Amino acid sequence: MSKKVSLTRYLVEQQRVDGLIPGQLRLLIEVVARACKRISFEINKGALGHVMGSAGSENVQGEVQKKLDIIANEVLIEANEWGGHLAAMASEEMEGIYVVPNRYPQGEYLLLFDPLDGSSNIDVNVSIGTIFSVLEKPQDHPGVTVDDFLQPGSKQVAAGYCIFGPQTTLVLTVGDGVAMFTLDREQGSFILVEENIRIPEDTQEFSINMSNMRHWDPAIRRYIDECLEGADGPRGKNFNMRWIASMVADIHRILCRGGIFMYPWDKREPQKPGKLRLMYEANPMGWLIEQAGGAASTGHQRILEVQPSQLHQRVSVIMGAKNEVERIDRYYQELEASGNN
């Protein structure tokens, strides 16, 4: 594909050549991209736009909401309710689903999003993002319910994120590889900068919040200990570490230069399967990683095969370089076989 291909043209080409993107889905992706553009402009205003700091409220997960969490949520809802060809939406910032009022065009899709990922980084001017996932609404009944959303990640028909960093870049999959589009602010459109992104199967860079080390289970502890032993240890090579605390930014780095990302189950809140949310964080990111040749696992099963039972379900996340993810899966299997888990 030649240079200066806009997102619109890319999607039209995909629709025409591969037949992968039905018309309504194409429009939906474009509306999400437009909303991300608006969110990007709001973020850029920073303190000048009075968008920084806490909103003084909590979301359904009991987390303090930042003003930008709420602004981004509203921008996505407003843009998509009339232009998105959707049946309903779900968000990290809303307890229940948002059914598109019937005065707007109705569609067959369900949109899930983390409107602002990496909220703790907003006020310190570090990269943050918007993550989204699209499912088809089951057609066996009229109306839409929460149960319609409870589909495994393998059923996604589109997924991606927009990173707001030194550049604003939208990263997308519709099941035919991963493509990246950077916002050209003068032109006002997302321009294709890379397609067929591939993640190397091996890596020497891991991403995990090391302050949780004492809470990890033995499989993760073993993996990280071996990495830290470097060239003298069983891995025979030195490892580098990065942790940005915005999943979007950590996964973006992995799509750009490889690596492995982990936010596994740990003992702090043992009843919770993990910290990250399955349906609007782990599933879209897991699909992007798989589409780029990587792997995404809970340690026990492929993330995309987890059957959700709740909208805001959490999950253990290990994703990135295929051989590293498989190694950790193996460590979990060995742990189970030894009866020490």
Ligand X SMILES: O=P(O)(O)OC[C@H]1O[C@](O)(COP(=O)(O)O)[C@@H](O)[C@@H]1O
Total residues contacting ligand X (rule CB under 6 A)? 12
- What is the crossing angle of helices 247-257 and 283-291, to 10°? 0
Joined tokens for residue 240: 């580098």
Total residues contacting Mg ion (rule CB under 5 A)? 4
Could you give the C-alpha distances from 8 to 106, 171, 214, 314, in angstroms and in order?
Answer: 22, 14, 48, 34
Radius of gyration of the chain (CA): 20
CB 264, min distance to ligand X, A: 12
Q: Kindly state whether residue 118 participates in binding ligand X, applying the rule CB under 6 A.
A: yes
**C-alpha–C-alpha distance, residues 284 and 136, integer Å:** 14
The verdict on whether residue 114 carries a ligand-binding annotation is: yes
The b-or-e profile of 110-128 (16+ CB within 10 A means b, else e) is bbbbbbbbbbebbeeeebb
Task: Pick the closer one to Mg ion by CB: 124 or 231.
Answer: 124
Tell me the window of 34-42, 77-85, 170-178, 241-249 that interacts with ligand X (CB under 6 A): 241-249
Q: Kindly state whether residue 114 participates in binding Mg ion, applying the rule CB under 5 A.
A: yes
Span 73-112, contacts to ligand X by CB under 6 A:
92
Span 58-77, contacts to ligand X by CB under 6 A:
63
The verdict on whether residue 2 carries a ligand-binding annotation is: no
Q: Which of 73, 80, 91, 119 binds ligand X (CB under 6 A)?
A: 119
Joined tokens for residue 198: 């591939």
The Cβ-side half-sphere exposure at 42, using a 13 Å CA radius, reads 25
Tell me the window of 44-52, 87-95, 144-152, 323-331 that interacts with Mg ion (CB under 5 A): 87-95
The verdict on whether residue 116 carries a ligand-binding annotation is: yes
Residue number with the smallest Cβ distance to ligand X: 247
Q: Kindly state whether residue 250 participates in binding Mg ion, applying the rule CB under 5 A.
A: no
Task: Pick the closer one to ligand X by CB: 95 or 147.
Answer: 95
The verdict on whether residue 323 carries a ligand-binding annotation is: no
Tell me the window of 37-45, 95-103, 117-125, 147-155 that interacts with ligand X (CB under 6 A): 117-125
Which position has the token pair 């232009």? Answer: 83
Span 116-135, contacts to Mg ion by CB under 5 A:
116-117
Q: Is 263 exposed, middle or buried (0-12, 13-18, 19+ CB in 10 A)?
A: buried
Partner touching 246 among ligand X, Mg ion, none, CB below 5 to 8 Å by kind:
ligand X
The verdict on whether residue 40 carries a ligand-binding annotation is: no
Joined tokens for residue 173: 């999959």
Q: Is 45 exposed, middle or buried (0-12, 13-18, 19+ CB in 10 A)?
A: exposed
Q: Which of 44, 57, 209, 310 binds ligand X (CB under 6 A)?
A: 209
Instruction: Say if strands 240-241 and 314-315 run parallel, antiparallel, or are unpaired.
Output: unpaired
The verdict on whether residue 73 carries a ligand-binding annotation is: no
Tell me the window of 115-123, 153-161, 162-170, 303-311 that interacts with ligand X (CB under 6 A): 115-123
CB 296, min distance to ligand X, A: 14
Could you give the C-alpha distances from 240 to 230, 248, 280, in angstroms and in order?
Answer: 9, 19, 28
Amino acid at 55: A
In the shown chain, the binding pattern of residues 88 to 107 toward Mg ion, with x for contact by CB under 5 A and - for none, equals ----x---------------
The set of residues, in sequence order, having a beta carbon less than 8 Å from that of 166 and lying 6+ positions away, is 127
Partner touching 169 among Mg ion, ligand X, none, CB below 5 to 8 Å by kind:
none
Q: Which residues lie near ligand X (CB under 6 A)?
A: 63, 92, 114, 117-120, 209, 245-247, 263
Return binding residues for substrate.
117-120, 209, 275
